[in-house]
Structure 1
Amino acid sequence: MTILVTGGDGYIGWPTALRIADRTDERVLAVDNFARREWVEEVGSVSAIPVASIEERIDAAEETLGIRNLSFAEGDLTEKSFVDELLTVHEPSVIVHTAAQPSAPYSQINGERANYTQHNNLQATRNLLWGLDDHDLTDTHFIETTTTGVYGAPEFPIPEGGAVMENDGDRDEVPFPNIGGSWYHATKGFDAQNMRLANTQFGIPVSDVRTAITYGTETEETRQDDRLKTRFDFDYYFGTVAHRFCAQAVAGYPVTVYGKGEQRKPFISLEDAVEGLAQIALTDADERPDDLTVYNQVTRAISIVEVAETIAEAGDAYDLDVAVEHFENPRDEDETHKMEIENDRYHEVIGGQAQSFEAAMDDVLASLTRYADVIEAHEDRFLPGVLEDDEE
């Protein structure tokens, strides 16, 4: 039997495949079509940290970590024939599905990219879920990284999964409504619904891992060899807020906080996200839930202005003079929202936070100062701009 990790060339998928392979004797197969590399190039940017070829990564995993059970398959999960071949040949016992077009800003550029994002993300998930039923693999544990973004920013504590609704004195728990704010976030809400259907109709055990904004450059495994590093995007379209701020600090560019920046967002370190996915994937079949389980993969909520100030303080150790500047907010959002989000079930999985935000920001700055020239050459990508193919 095999454990599949889709999106195995990606920011979370690659280190997750490494950790799982390092902890099991089962074969681990990373699957990807390298689209993330193409999307970032399309918006005129690059990974600040050089990303080795998949062949070099696999070689380094064996040479440095002694991992001999990790392999790779290239293919597009939106193609049903490719998914059928994967499931027929490998009969996975677990699928960790991290593959997606993950950028809300990219999905908002125009209708073409909105359509692409929704087709890519939803078709891949549907092909996998229906494929498991078609190939009599309904005992396969299906784990997907969705997003805490499906919750929006409600004025009440966000539950870990469903929501309680009341009408005329009657109460029941229902799936939390999809109120994410982008065409990308909508795909993850639809995926959550499709996973619920796959569980109720096919009996597939599902873990919906709603992943927070993920930060950091390193995991225990990637520290061991430069060829094992995961990618680091810092541009407006693919760089998350903490990563973009760190890159701005390294380039001597003002850290750009939109509006007051007092709104709190859910965050988790790369180390903790990888650990959570590995723990869930490696849970024995007789101990895992048979139904659909939602995990809020988040360790704490942090305000945007706190993110900026933490990075500015951490920059002192690297002789970075970091200025925090506030700009008019182009987004329609509550700039003072105090998010609360439940995560008890997820904390039981990881046993507590392994890496603090402050320690991770030090990691990031240590990594990025090695590649300051790459960031400085692309500092025009910190803010949204016209893409080359839209200038025609």
Structure 2
Amino acid sequence: MTVLVTGADGYLGWPTSLRIAARGETRVVLVDNFARRGWVEEIGSTSAVPIADADERLAAARDVHDLGNLSFVEGDLTDKAFVDRLLQVHEPSTVIHTAAQPSAPYSQIDGDRANYTQDNNLQATRNLLWGLEEADLTDTHFVETTTTGVYGAPDFPIPEGGAKMRHRGQEDDVPFPAMAGSWYHLTKSHDAANMRLAHQQFDIPISDVRTAIVYGTETEETRASDRLKTRFDFDYYFGTVTHRFCAQAVAGYPVTVYGKGEQRKPFVSLEDAVEGLVQLATDANDEEGLTVYNQVTRAISIVEIADTIAEVGREYGYDVEVEHFENPREEDETHEMEIENDRYTSLIGEQAQSFEEGVRDIFETLTRHEDTIETHEDRFLPGVLADD
């Protein structure tokens, strides 16, 4: 059995590749073009955690975990000829598609970045789906990490994928409407529609994994060696809210909450997100239909995130305060998000890591890399602090 992991140099793709390889005799082919490293450098930031190049990572996987079933291919998924060769040569039984330009703020910088994000993300997914059809690989299980951001923030519980629509006395199950709020999130809405079409036309088994905001620095496999670490972004464009708040704390600044901060967002730890994808790559490989998973373990309010980070930060010797500032955005600061996740929780079983445990992991990591955080503090400080 061969599993192809795209975006395998990334925050989620790399530890997922390691775990799939560690679970058995599966051959794992890693694919990436290192674009994420370039995007982060472009906006003047870096990974807080030094990350090895592909050759060194594979060597470390062999040395530390005795994994000889990993191989790496460098290439651009927007190049259809490359994708066609890739699929024809390796004939994967499963594709784990984590490759994308993943930043909503980056996609909002200007029209060029918006166009790039949509061109890059949509073309890569289409090339893979059509490549499977044209290579006669329509039994291959296609798994993509989309995002819970496709749902927006409706005032009703979010179903795991579809919704029941009733009109003039009749009802049917329909895809959840695209309510995304950024040019990036819309790429995942379009991908979801394209995957549905590919399933209808080509009968490819599809798992649409709508991944929540991921937090954390380690998985069981990456803890074993510094050479196996995954990246950790903390800047405004590529760092998630939890990671940015932790960076503020380590750099000696208050954790900033805009407005009340009582709005809840969906979250999942890196450990749990990896496990969900690995289960789909291995144990759930007999799927035949199109299944949507809400890859989320719980919704957490922004103020709870800040308070937890302050509390854990003090355990590590940081004098962390939480400060509230006027919210420059028009949003419901008390929105109580509810999101169904029965399919996903049945996939992973018990949650492996609580939010507090994940925050401890982050501080364990960042205390080793304070200099990098402080050197790049202008990349994550909000204007209300940067101007002080």
Alignment-derived partner of residue 334 in structure 1: 332
Q: Secondary structure at the residue paired with 1:40?
A: helix
Matched, 1:36 2:36: yes
Tell me the CA shift for residue 259 of structure 1: 1.6
Alignment-derived partner of residue 210 in structure 1: 210
Tell me the CA shift for residue 325 of structure 1: 1.3
Q: 2-side partners of 1:151 and 1:210: how far apart?
A: 9
Matched, 1:303 2:301: yes
8 A Cα contact 2:248 2:381, kept in partner: no
Q: 1-side partners of 2:253 and 2:26: how far apart?
A: 46
Long gaps (5+) in structure 1: 386-392
Matched, 1:91 2:85: no
Tell me the CA shift for residue 383 of structure 1: 4.0
Tell me the CA shift for residue 283 of structure 1: 2.3
Long gaps (5+) in structure 2: 384-388
Tell me the CA shift for residue 254 of structure 1: 1.6
- Residue deviations 1:89-133 (CA, integer Å, cap 9, x gap): 101110000000000000000000000000000000000000000
TM-score between the two structures when normalised by the length of structure 2: 0.97
Q: 1-side partners of 2:179 and 2:329: how far apart?
A: 16
- Residue deviations 1:343-367 (CA, integer Å, cap 9, x gap): 0000000002100000110110010
8 A Cα contact 1:8 1:31, kept in partner: yes
1:375-386 equivalences in 2 (<5 Å): 375-383=373-381
1:35-114 equivalences in 2 (<5 Å): 35-114=35-114
Tell me the CA shift for residue 236 of structure 1: 0.3
Q: 2-side partners of 1:11 and 1:65: how far apart?
A: 19
8 A Cα contact 1:161 1:294, kept in partner: yes
Alignment-derived partner of residue 357 in structure 2: 359
Amino acid at match of 2:338: E
1:235-274 equivalences in 2 (<5 Å): 235-274=235-274
Q: 1-side partners of 2:372 and 2:252: how far apart?
A: 13
- Residue deviations 1:147-168 (CA, integer Å, cap 9, x gap): 0000000000000010111111
Q: Secondary structure at the residue paired with 1:233?
A: coil
TM-score between the two structures when normalised by the length of structure 1: 0.96
Count of matched residue pairs:
383
Matched, 1:184 2:184: yes
- Residue deviations 1:207-248 (CA, integer Å, cap 9, x gap): 000000000000000000001000000000000000000011
- Residue deviations 1:258-299 (CA, integer Å, cap 9, x gap): 2211000000000000000000110254xx331100000000
Q: Secondary structure at the residue paired with 2:122?
A: helix
Matched, 1:148 2:148: yes
8 A Cα contact 1:94 1:143, kept in partner: yes
Q: 2-side partners of 1:220 and 1:341: how far apart?
A: 27
After the TM superposition, which of the residue ranges 255-264 and 103-112 deviates more from structure 2? Answer: 255-264
8 A Cα contact 1:97 1:144, kept in partner: yes
After the TM superposition, which of the residue ranges 227-236 and 255-264 deviates more from structure 2? Answer: 255-264
Q: 2-side partners of 1:383 and 1:281: how far apart?
A: 38
- Change in Cα spacing, 1:284 to 1:150, as seen in structure 2 (3 Å) is closer
8 A Cα contact 2:150 2:180, kept in partner: yes
Q: 1-side partners of 2:165 and 2:202: how far apart?
A: 27
Alignment-derived partner of residue 124 in structure 2: 124
Q: 2-side partners of 1:302 and 1:45: how far apart?
A: 27
8 A Cα contact 1:237 1:384, kept in partner: no
Alignment-derived partner of residue 230 in structure 1: 230
Q: Work out the percentage of aligned pairs sharing the same amino acid.
A: 73
- Write out the 4+ residue segments of structure 1 that deviate beyond 3 Å after TM superposition: none
Alignment-derived partner of residue 135 in structure 1: 135
1:256-295 equivalences in 2 (<5 Å): 256-283=256-283, 285=285, 288-295=286-293
Q: Secondary structure at the residue paired with 1:275?
A: helix
Q: 2-side partners of 1:165 and 1:284: how far apart?
A: 29
Q: Secondary structure at the residue paired with 1:319?
A: coil
Amino acid at match of 1:70: L
Q: 2-side partners of 1:32 and 1:332: how far apart?
A: 37
Amino acid at match of 2:192: A
Q: 2-side partners of 1:201 and 1:24: how far apart?
A: 33
Q: 1-side partners of 2:378 and 2:248: how far apart?
A: 10
Alignment-derived partner of residue 9 in structure 2: 9
Q: Secondary structure at the residue paired with 2:105?
A: helix
Q: 2-side partners of 1:297 and 1:132: how far apart?
A: 25
Q: 2-side partners of 1:142 and 1:296: how far apart?
A: 16
Tell me the CA shift for residue 332 of structure 1: 2.8
- Give the RMSD, CA atoms, in angstroms: 1.0
Q: Secondary structure at the residue paired with 1:370?
A: coil
Q: 1-side partners of 2:4 and 2:263: how far apart?
A: 37
Q: 2-side partners of 1:212 and 1:14: how far apart?
A: 18
- Residue deviations 1:58-115 (CA, integer Å, cap 9, x gap): 0000100111101110000000011011011101110000000000000000000000
8 A Cα contact 2:49 2:231, kept in partner: yes
Q: 2-side partners of 1:324 and 1:240: how far apart?
A: 17
Q: 1-side partners of 2:23 and 2:306: how far apart?
A: 36
Q: Secondary structure at the residue paired with 1:52?
A: coil
8 A Cα contact 1:160 1:294, kept in partner: yes
- Change in Cα spacing, 1:384 to 1:54, as seen in structure 2 (3 Å) is farther
8 A Cα contact 2:308 2:356, kept in partner: yes
Amino acid at match of 1:141: H
Q: 1-side partners of 2:369 and 2:362: how far apart?
A: 11
Alignment-derived partner of residue 386 in structure 2: none
Alignment-derived partner of residue 195 in structure 2: 195
